[in-house]
Amino acid sequence: MSDVLDKADVQSPLKIVGTRPIRPDGADKVTGRAAYGADLNMPGQLVGKVLRSPHAHGRIVSIDTRKARALPGVKAVVTGADFPDVASEMHEGGEAASNLRDLAMNVIAREKALYDGHAVAAVAAVSAAIADEALSLISVTYEVLPHVLDVEAAMAPDAPVLHASMFTEGQETRPTVASNIVKRNRMGRGDPAQAFAAADVVVEGRYTTQAVHQGYIEPHACVASWAEDGQCEVWSSSQGQFMVRTYCAKVLGLEVSSIRVTPAEIGGGFGGKTTVYLEPLALALSRQAGHPVKMVMTRDEVFRATGPTSGAVILVKLGAKADGTIVAADVELKFQAGAYAGSPVGAASMTALACYDIENFTITGWDVVTNTPKVAAYRAPGAPIAAFGVECAIDDLARKLGMDPIALREKNAVRNGVKAAYGPTFQNIGFLETLAAARNSDHYSAPLGPNQGRGVAAGFWFNVGGESTVALHVGEDGSVVVVTGNPDIGGSRATMAMMAAETLGVPMDRVRARVADTASIGFSMVTGGSRTTFATGMAVVQAAEKVVADLKRRAALTWDVAADKVEWRDGAAICLDPTKDPKPLTLGDIAANSAMTGGPISAQVSLNAQGAGPGFGVHVCDVEIDPETGHVTVLRYTAAQDVGKAIHPAYVEGQIQGGVAQGVGWALNEEYIFDRAGKMENAGFLDYRVPVASDLPMIDAIMVEVANPRHPFGAKGVGEVPIVPPLAAVANAVRGAIGVRMTDLPLSPPKIRAALDAKPG
């Protein structure tokens, strides 16, 4: 279970790692054969549907389901009363701590509906039409309460209070009056007040962002079956089948071993599928009905009832010397948590100044509940929002100092040996190299035309390690299967097969990668947190190394030589005993005699990977503004990132390009728009405007490789960093193009037009 490796048997130079083979699940994915959440059907299944609160805030006085139950074809109806009370308990099951009691109440409401879309009842019927009719026959009496959406309005003393038992934590004295402020966090060092007073230049800004959704194209979907003996089967698309199992067990009061979760292929997650919405409902309905229940969300439900990320207010103040040294910083972050506690303001606080070596700073974060859907993780949760404010302020600082924006960042950049803003000393980081790569790019020195502007921004994310199990089996013909518990969201089957093949010394097409259900592989944490290539990859390599050691032992037995007289090279055992001269034994040769040499050739590794290395990104963005319409065109985009080691460069580029696209959407068009009643007005892809193919140019990804020695090939997590810089990169480019600092995202055309209209002269 060691996670520090002896790399002696890994051959160099690398033959497979670093190349771009076709992904092993490719044929299924381009032919429509791959099965996603809504693609499976179980015999005798019923259709499940959810009744959702039409009110942003209300006490549920009563729910009358009698007419719904009496409708022919309806086989089950559940409300909150059909679910056990779940104790308040923090659980690190998904990709952030969740309070299980809150999660259970978000799955189906109990005393209160806390947002428009909050599930209050569910039905299962023989057809979708009957299920819909059943929903319309459920009579819910609400005491409608005043609601609050905006984070600062929710913090005000006269705001409607969502939870009577919420008393703000993290302040000097604990309040006696309930509020919507869950917690205040503070961190800092030095003496910012004094440092600001002594600074030559000070910049300040107030920035605002709206809630945005992860925007995966596949709506949540599952099929669940609860048999008469309490054994449960769930087919579900998620970022982690073990996470689904854990949460269903907790919400329903079951043992985890009585639930088998089979992972469907997943059509995007980005953090939004590291929790459950439908699975516990489907199981509860199935229990009542005695049949499997299939539930698929509509796009409207996805927007209204699954976590977006926080809308926020960011206040930034920076003080610097005339030579560009940033001597003081003050950052305040106010984040929407949605209906239940737990916004990513903590991570945002830790990442806000992580790129820079600033001696004196204070960072204050506020976690605030609002009558909006409970926020869920979204790719580097919290970090893009904090970076938006800080990186715009740094841009303003560069302008005030007359310094090049990359040079200002280089002057203050963290480097190995420097203490991070969140405490520990950095090692093996590549921020300076990434800044240099951006500075040296063709893009950075390309000329600009009229109405065009260029923006630069940097970003940081921790990346995590965590628990993974991998099993590696050698077939009797020498072909190999590597089995993991991580859903393949972005090409990870390819990466796992590559690392296994590299370690075994065999061609990649001899290695098949499978993703197993919860009964068929040991526990793994979710595919998320930029952890899969790092942690699951580490386990893959260790399992392959165990197999190599086993193969060498079997070769020694076959040749009757000492164990240390065998070397493994290029997929075969080589005899080093000078008294014997046998032919090398290939993987296939040894596998053919596996029964005689000890039995099946298999290895399993379970580990908890530590020492995941953080990643840094530096982005350069050119925009052109149409002064008549306020429309912003992204002309050119370059994203440099320290990736440690790109195992499959095309999929690493893909992560970078995808994160950039989401960040561009966040900056320019995406936002939750609510009406006065607290209902989302744009709960569809027409009016919730994500980037389309004609909105973007080619995205140049520059992969900088500063290895993380903890990983056998030096890999760092890459998936989350790329969404952190784009908000400010785009905003800084707009600033360059129109000469006005815009601080309220998204920078949609009406706002640009208003800013142009307001410009003097």
Partner 1 sequence: MTKLHVSTVVNGDPVEFLADPGMTLLDVLRDELDLTGTKEGCGSGDCGACSVIVDDRLVCSCLMLAAEAQGRRVATIEGLAQGGHLHPLQQKFLEHAALQCGFCTPGLLMAAKALLDANPDPTETEVRYWLAGNLCRCTGYDKIIRAVMDAAADLRQVRV
Partner 2 sequence: MHVVLSSDCYDFTGGLKEVEVEADTVRRLITALEARFPGLGDFVNRRMAVAIDGEIHQDAWMSPIGPDSEIYLIPKIGGG
What tokens does 679 get? 């209902």
Question: Roughly how many angstroms between the first and final C-alpha of the chain, as a whole number?
Answer: 68
In the beta sheet, which residues pair with residue 484?
470, 515
DSSP string, 531-551: -IIIIIHHHHHHHHHHHHHHH
Q: Is 561 one of the binding residues for partner 1 (CB under 8 A)?
A: no
Q: Is 346 one of the binding residues for partner 2 (CB under 8 A)?
A: yes
Q: Which does 611 bind (CB under 5 to 8 A by kind): partner 1, partner 2, none?
A: partner 2
> Residue 569 is which amino acid?
R
Q: Is 171 one of the binding residues for partner 2 (CB under 8 A)?
A: no
Give the span between the Cα atoms of 478 and 378, in whole angstroms: 41
> Residue 345 is which amino acid?
V
Residue 246 or residue 371: which is nearer to partner 2 going by CB?
246
Q: Is 678 one of the binding residues for partner 2 (CB under 8 A)?
A: no
Look up tokens 């919400």; give the residue: 251
Minimum gap (Å) between residue 615 Cβ and partner 1: 18
Residue 344 or residue 490: which is nearer to partner 1 going by CB?
490
Q: Find out whether 413 and 357 touch, Cβ atoms under 8 Å.
A: yes
| Residues 6 or more apart whose Cβ sits within 8 Å of residue 499 | 17, 537, 540, 541, 544, 647, 712, 713
Three-state SS for 437?
A: helix
Minimum gap (Å) between residue 382 Cβ and partner 2: 9
In the beta sheet, which residues pair with residue 185?
365
Q: Is 451 one of the binding residues for partner 2 (CB under 8 A)?
A: no
Q: Which does 101 bind (CB under 5 to 8 A by kind): partner 1, partner 2, none?
A: none
Stretch that binds partner 1, among 600-608, 615-623, 689-697, 730-738 (CB under 8 A): 689-697
Residue 190 or residue 749: which is nearer to partner 1 going by CB?
749
The binder of partner 2 chosen from 219, 453, 466, 658 (CB under 8 A): 466
Q: Which does 327 bind (CB under 5 to 8 A by kind): partner 2, partner 1, none?
A: none
Task: Identify which of 348, 388, 437, 446 has the alpha carbon closest to the alpha carbon of residue 732.
Answer: 388
Stretch that binds partner 2, among 99-107, 281-289, 339-347, 676-684 (CB under 8 A): 339-347
The binder of partner 1 chosen from 84, 684, 739, 750 (CB under 8 A): 684
Three-state SS for 723?
A: helix
Q: Which does 266 bind (CB under 5 to 8 A by kind): partner 1, partner 2, none?
A: partner 1
Q: Is 270 one of the binding residues for partner 2 (CB under 8 A)?
A: yes
The binder of partner 2 chosen from 446, 610, 626, 684 (CB under 8 A): 610
> Phi-psi category of 138—alpha, beta or left, where left has phi over 0 and alpha has psi -120 to 50?
beta
Q: Is 332 one of the binding residues for partner 2 (CB under 8 A)?
A: no
Three-state SS for 71?
A: coil
> Residue 275 is which amino acid?
T
Q: Is 531 one of the binding residues for partner 2 (CB under 8 A)?
A: yes
How far lies 450's CA from each of 196, 568, 623, 737, in Å?
37, 62, 10, 8
In which order are the strands placed within the sheet that holds 601-609? 511-515, 480-484, 466-474, 601-609
Q: Is 115 one of the binding residues for partner 1 (CB under 8 A)?
A: no
Stretch that binds partner 2, among 45-53, 160-168, 460-468, 643-651 (CB under 8 A): 460-468
The binder of partner 1 chosen from 116, 133, 233, 265 (CB under 8 A): 265
The binder of partner 2 chosen from 43, 72, 402, 424 (CB under 8 A): 424
The binder of partner 2 chosen from 48, 80, 338, 465 (CB under 8 A): 465
Give the span between the Cα atoms of 573 and 553, in whole angstroms: 10
Q: Which does 491 bind (CB under 5 to 8 A by kind): partner 1, partner 2, none?
A: partner 1
Cα 126–Cα 130–Cα 136 angle in degrees, nearest 5: 140
How far lies 639's CA from each of 348, 617, 663, in Å?
21, 7, 12
Binding residues with partner 1: total (CB under 8 A): 57
b/e map 662-695, b = 16+ CB within 10 Å:
bbbbbbbbbbbebeeebbbeebeeeebbbbeeeb
Give the span between the Cα atoms of 514 and 511, in whole angstroms: 10
Q: Is 660 one of the binding residues for partner 1 (CB under 8 A)?
A: yes
Q: Is 462 one of the binding residues for partner 2 (CB under 8 A)?
A: yes
Q: Is 417 one of the binding residues for partner 1 (CB under 8 A)?
A: no
Task: Identify which of 690, 716, 311, 276 has the alpha carbon closest to the alpha carbon of residue 529.
Answer: 716
Q: Is 32 one of the binding residues for partner 1 (CB under 8 A)?
A: yes
How far lies 141's CA from each of 66, 112, 120, 124, 144, in Å?
14, 11, 11, 22, 9
Q: Which does 381 bind (CB under 5 to 8 A by kind): partner 2, partner 1, none?
A: partner 2
| Residues 6 or more apart whose Cβ sits within 8 Å of residue 182 | 166, 168, 169, 337, 341, 342, 367, 368, 369
Task: Identify which of 655, 582, 620 has the alpha carbon closest to the alpha carbon of residue 726.
Answer: 620
The binder of partner 1 chosen from 207, 340, 366, 651 (CB under 8 A): 651
Q: Is 23 one of the binding residues for partner 1 (CB under 8 A)?
A: yes
Q: Which does 644 bind (CB under 5 to 8 A by kind): partner 1, partner 2, none?
A: none
Stretch that binds partner 2, among 145-153, 277-285, 293-301, 378-386 (CB under 8 A): 378-386
Q: Which does 571 bind (CB under 5 to 8 A by kind): partner 1, partner 2, none?
A: none
Minimum gap (Å) between residue 504 Cβ and partner 2: 28
Three-state SS for 207?
A: strand
Rg of the chain over all Cα atoms, to the nearest angstrom: 27
The binder of partner 2 chosen from 81, 97, 156, 193 (CB under 8 A): 97
Q: Is 710 one of the binding residues for partner 2 (CB under 8 A)?
A: yes
The binder of partner 2 chosen from 38, 109, 113, 377 (CB under 8 A): 377
Q: Is 574 one of the binding residues for partner 1 (CB under 8 A)?
A: no
Minimum gap (Å) between residue 21 Cβ and partner 1: 10
Q: Which does 621 bind (CB under 5 to 8 A by kind): partner 2, partner 1, none?
A: none
Tell me which DSSP letter residue 356 carries.
Answer: B
Q: Which does 160 bind (CB under 5 to 8 A by kind): partner 1, partner 2, none?
A: none
Stretch that binds partner 1, among 267-275, 311-319, 431-439, 447-455 (CB under 8 A): 267-275
Q: Is 464 one of the binding residues for partner 2 (CB under 8 A)?
A: yes
Give the span between the Cα atoms of 597 and 559, in whole angstroms: 11
Residue 380 or residue 555: which is nearer to partner 2 going by CB?
380
| Residues 6 or more apart whose Cβ sits within 8 Å of residue 749 | 629, 630, 631, 632
Q: Which does 272 bind (CB under 5 to 8 A by kind): partner 2, partner 1, none?
A: partner 2
DSSP string, 585-604: EEHHHHHHTTTTTTS-EEEE
Q: Is 481 one of the binding residues for partner 1 (CB under 8 A)?
A: no
Give the span between the Cα atoms of 91 and 94, in whole angstroms: 8
The binder of partner 2 chosen from 36, 163, 185, 690 (CB under 8 A): 185
Q: Is 36 one of the binding residues for partner 1 (CB under 8 A)?
A: yes
Largest CA distance in the chain: 92
How many residues can be counted in the chain?
Answer: 761
Q: Which does 620 bind (CB under 5 to 8 A by kind): partner 2, partner 1, none?
A: none
| Residues 6 or more apart whose Cβ sits within 8 Å of residue 595 | none
Residues 183-222 that bind partner 1 (CB under 8 A): 214-219
Q: Is 716 one of the binding residues for partner 2 (CB under 8 A)?
A: no
Cα torsion through 432, 377, 216, 669, rounded to 10: -70
Q: Find out whether 432 and 439 touch, Cβ atoms under 8 Å.
A: no
Q: Which residues bind partner 1 (CB under 8 A)?
A: 20, 22-23, 26-27, 29-36, 38-39, 129, 214-219, 265-270, 296, 298-299, 489-491, 648, 650-651, 653-655, 657-658, 660-662, 684-686, 690-696, 698-699
Q: Which residues bind partner 2 (CB under 8 A)?
A: 90, 92, 94-97, 170, 185-187, 214, 270-272, 274, 344, 346-347, 350, 376-381, 422-427, 461-467, 528-531, 608, 610-612, 710, 720
